[in-house]
Chain A
Amino acid sequence: MTAATTVTGGVIPERRVAESAVGEILDEVWEEEPGLIGWITTVNHKRIGRRYLVTAGFFFMLAGINALVMRTQLGTPNNTLVSPELYDQLFSLHGVAMIFFFATPFNAGFGNFFLPLMIGTRDMAFPRMNAVSYFLFLFSGLFMFSSLPFGLAPDGGWFAYVPLTGVKYLPGLNLDVYTLGLLFLAVSTTVGSINFIVTALKMRAPGMTLNRVPIYVWTVVTQSFMLIFALPSLDLANAMLFLDRRFGTNFFDIKHGGDAILWQHLFWIFGHPDVYIIVLPAMGIISTVIPTFSRRPITAYPLVVLATVATGIISFGVWVHHMFAVGLSQVSESFFAAATLTISIPAGVQMFAWLVTMWKGRVVITTAMLYAVSFIVAFVIGGVTGVMFAVVPFDQQVTDSYFVVAHFHYVLFGGAVLPMLAGLFYWWPKMTGRMTSHKGGIVSFILVFTGFNVTFFPMHFAGMLGMPRRVYTYPSGLGWDIPNLISTIGAFILAAGFLWTFFVFAQSLLSGPRAPDDPWGANTLEWVTGSPPKPYNFPVIPTVHSLNPLWDGKSLASMEEHRHDYNRTMTSTHLALRTSELDTRVEKIMPMPEETPVPFATAVLLTAFFISMLVGAYHAAEVSFGLCLAVVAFWLWRRPGIDEPEEAEEL
């Protein structure tokens, strides 16, 4: 573990030179309002990214506590710790929260903070949309979670199958919280996805042609496209269910010509891509961490990029494997079995790209690297059980049992949470300017990885012994007692691991050593900026010469070369460089918005709209929606002289 704690350098010399030329004036131009007003009005992608991480982390903690209560209930047979009413809400909210209010937004947090840094620009393409998408996420999350103390949390499972979720069988507000809460969040996610795509296509630093785009950026863009294509299906389903429940339409009502299976198709056309929506950016983190700590560029970059994009496309053709017990035709079962097998090929490509990178390089053991490698271990286990589902009768045997619960926790916890922890330990010095304790990180890794396996591995056995999922209790004597008890013990180890990890980060904030610009000797542009980065990120926009700009020598030097070039320093006001999509030809110098309360107002009014819809105050809903439109109209009003882009001289 020699190089692990090697902290290289302080400030990167090329940036110091660039900073001395234009730093002072940029500091002034990009200075931010402090205090509460600053908090509400900021459009800075790094502050928004941090907020995403903190908020999503908070929701992760709440949903984790849900899980701990459930595991305690299931620790022993015939337990009566929680009522079935509460248990049903706990598991439904746990799923909804982890999938929608933790995994995707936590990825969005990293994306917000690091995507602009990695591509060498000063902010997201639409900073105000970025702010609005955060506030909408925050408010929709509070909307969803605040239902639990009232006993009104969703209780139809995270995939909310009709007709159970119809008003006849679940008459409370619980499922309205579900449909409205997810529609509410979808606004945020859609806005955020568009922002990522435009940013990555139009804001890359000159020279960062498509073959030099970091894999993490590819994964975020692929994920964003997937969201834009997958979410409408979920939105449609939720809107239809809301109309069925509130206004007596019959989309899903069998008695009046509706269809119960329609919901399942609409849900899973979204739901299966969503697995990759969560896992792809996490794999992007792995493709970032592994080359850095293998001391060499990633192997087979073009194949990894192709695999990422291929996963995004194929994932739209496998949804029926969630429905193999529905009794569909043999032809469609075979087709979707084949598609399910196909999607594991790109995963195999990426897996071996990482392994070969590690073997051909020299591995440096850090906490981030341990988490990254543990991802490989967990994901291969979750992957092989996933392949098993392509054998249709086997799928029918284990679907909706604890075997599936084990499988998707290996895929989602192993495939997303472990990489997120890798990302957190890796990028923490950049985000906070502080190093974390190496020993503390190792203990965090040991506790979390042990707890994870002890919790979820025995669930394979419980499932194979016939234990269905979503049961609030079970009889003894079926062989389920011991795996369940072990899982419960594991859950507490896991909780201890997270508590410990929290303290490691807290200790770092309070008394961690100052982080240099590039503590890991990494290869991507975010490490050129300060730790933490200045509001304007780069004093001089560099010219990118390779896939590993920090290792090629020339890309850094370009910051020094261009320090007197206005097209790269853009010192007059909030400005950013717009470049062409494929070859990053400089197109325009774009004015970027200043701080504004408009996104906050938009989000508050939309929140008022959704609350009014929930409680059935439809006039209030009309008023708040009207006001919201008025604010958006004000927002879109173009002011001559302020919103007009400047021509770049280099054209």
Chain B
Amino acid sequence: MVAPDGPKSRFVTNAWWILTGVAAFVCIVVIALAVGAMLFRRRPKRVDTEGGQRQVVVFGLLIPAVVLAATFALSVTGIAVNANPPSPDRVTVDVIGHQWWWGVKYPDAGVVTANEIHVPTGEPVRLRLTTGDVIHSFWVPQIMPKMDLIPNRPNTTWFSVDRSGVYRGQCAEYCGLEHAHMAFEVIAQPRAEFEKWLHREQQTAATPSTAEQQRGLSVFESSSCATCHTIRGTTAHGHVGPDLTHVGSRDKLAAGTIPNTFGNMAGWVANSQAIKPGNKMPPQSLSPDDLRAVVTYLQSLE
């Protein structure tokens, strides 16, 4: 089991130890009885062809019924833990599933980003899940169990993270070709740091400070990039792919597929199909200089 770092996953882990304890006991008893019957065999004359009903009723029906009733109590407790955060939430995050990346919005702050969910440590966060296309499922094993993203059926839930850190999440409902490459990160940080991050994300994109960056921006705006991506503060207003306003500050590219480095980004822009076959971004036929300029510009967007 993964180490739990939130109240929801802590319940799951505790339940897991209780269940596994009981399950292991049941398995050991049954397996011992099955193997024992083969090892310790009666002599033919001592075969008992009658009875046995009472043992079946006691061990097969009554004892299991008691254990199962206890399991039900555990289940109902868990449903309650899942339902209500321990204290009122102060942050709301909207997550929108796409083939094969995660749109992330902070409606109160007006922030839009992708594949990275920053949250304040130790506080319940309201999570609203919707999808732009097919069904996906939101899962951060160390923090919270799954909740599906279903068309026309917004799901609202909550989670909270005990310790600051980076937690990997991944889509858990088969959603097509690149279901395997649809990961994200939850980054829990102290309240002050979170607010600083949120404030920075609220800003429009940084103005290019070098000639190369300036060239990158104009390539971005004039080529097909801008038809799919938004960079707030520029003329790029596409809504097909992730918002790139602060892409330079992100940890990973292509929904958790590769680290966000200059080289990886250049490779991705030039031919993303080699990295994540079937994703919706076509290869970009940019000249080497244009490519370098665009990537330099994008990396500067922190």
User: Chain A: residues with CB nearer than 8 A to chain B?
Assistant: 83-85, 88, 156-157, 161, 163-164, 169-170, 254, 259-261, 294-297, 299-300, 303, 325-327, 330, 333-334, 337-338, 341-342, 344-345, 348-353, 355-363, 365, 369, 373, 376-377, 380-381, 384-385, 387-388, 390-397, 399-401, 464-466, 468-474, 478
Contact = CB atoms under 8 A, between A and B. Distances in A.
B60 A164 contact: no
Contacts of A350: 60
Interface of B: 1-2, 8-9, 11-12, 15-16, 19, 22-23, 26-27, 30-31, 33-38, 41-44, 46-49, 51-53, 55-57, 59-61, 64-65, 68-69, 71-72, 74-76, 78-83, 99, 129, 133-135, 137, 139, 141-142, 145-148, 150-153, 155, 157, 168, 170-180, 277-278
B30 A471 contact: no
Nearest to B39: A363
B37 A394 contact: no
8 contacts: A337-B76, A349-B57, A352-B56, A355-B30, A358-B38, A390-B71, A392-B75, A464-B1
A361 B40 CA distance: 11
A169 to B, nearest CB: 6
Given A380-B26, A396-B147, A359 B12 contact: no
Given A384-B27, A394-B78, A471-B180, A348 B34 contact: no
Nearest to A296: B49
A363 B153 contact: no
Contact of A326 (B2, B30, B80, B148): B148
Contact of B75 (A85, A334, A351, A355): A334
A254 B228 CA distance: 24
Contacts of B59: 348, 352
Contacts of B60: 303, 348-353
B44 A164 contact: no
A391 B78 contact: yes
A297 B37 contact: no
A376 B34 contact: yes
Contact of B146 (A341, A376, A399, A478): A399
A400 B146 contact: yes
A472 B278 CA distance: 13
Nearest to A397: B145
A164 B56 contact: no
Nearest to B53: A300
B27 A401 contact: no
Contacts of B15: 391, 393-394
B68 A295 contact: no
Contacts of B2: 464-466
A261 B22 CA distance: 34
Contact of A327 (B52, B148, B168): B148
A227 B62 CA distance: 30
Given A391-B71, A392-B79, A470 B148 contact: no
The 7 closest A-B pairs by CB, nearest first: A352-B60, A396-B145, A299-B52, A384-B23, A471-B180, A358-B37, A466-B141
B72 A84 contact: no
Given A84-B278, A384-B23, A359 B151 contact: no
A387 B65 CA distance: 12
A272 B15 CA distance: 24
Contact of B150 (A260, A355, A399, A472): A260
A303 B81 CA distance: 38
A473 to B, nearest CB: 5
Contacts of A392: 75, 78-79, 82
A90 B180 CA distance: 15
A397 B146 contact: yes
Contacts of A396: 12, 82, 145-147
Contacts of A470: 174, 179
Given A163-B133, A345-B64, A363-B41, A393 B141 contact: no
Contacts of B36: 359
B47 A360 contact: yes
Given A260-B152, A348-B64, A352-B60, A393 B173 contact: no
Nearest to A260: B151
Given A164-B176, A385-B23, A400-B146, 10 more contacts: A83-B277, A259-B152, A361-B48, A380-B27, A391-B19, A392-B75, A393-B11, A399-B172, A469-B174, A472-B180
Contact of A388 (B9, B19, B155): B19
A389 to B, nearest CB: 10
B78 A397 contact: no
Contacts of B53: 299-300, 303
Given A261-B153, A303-B56, A470-B174, A85 B278 contact: yes
B68 A341 contact: yes
B225 to A, nearest CB: 25
Contact of B34 (A163, A355, A465): A355
Contacts of A361: 42, 47-49
A349 B52 CA distance: 12
Q: Which of A334, A342, A394, A397 has the most CB of B within 10 A?
A: A397
A466 B150 CA distance: 21
A297 B35 CA distance: 20
B107 to A, nearest CB: 19
A296 B177 contact: no
Contacts of B19: 384, 387-388, 391, 394
Contacts of A469: 174
Nearest to A253: B151
Given A260-B152, A330-B79, A362-B41, A325 B147 contact: yes
A393 B78 contact: yes
B47 A393 contact: no
Contacts of B142: 466
Contacts of B83: 330
Contacts of B147: 325, 327, 396
A511 B36 CA distance: 35
A348 B29 CA distance: 13
B78 A295 contact: no
Contacts of B145: 325, 393-397
Given A295-B44, A360-B51, A472-B180, A397 B141 contact: yes
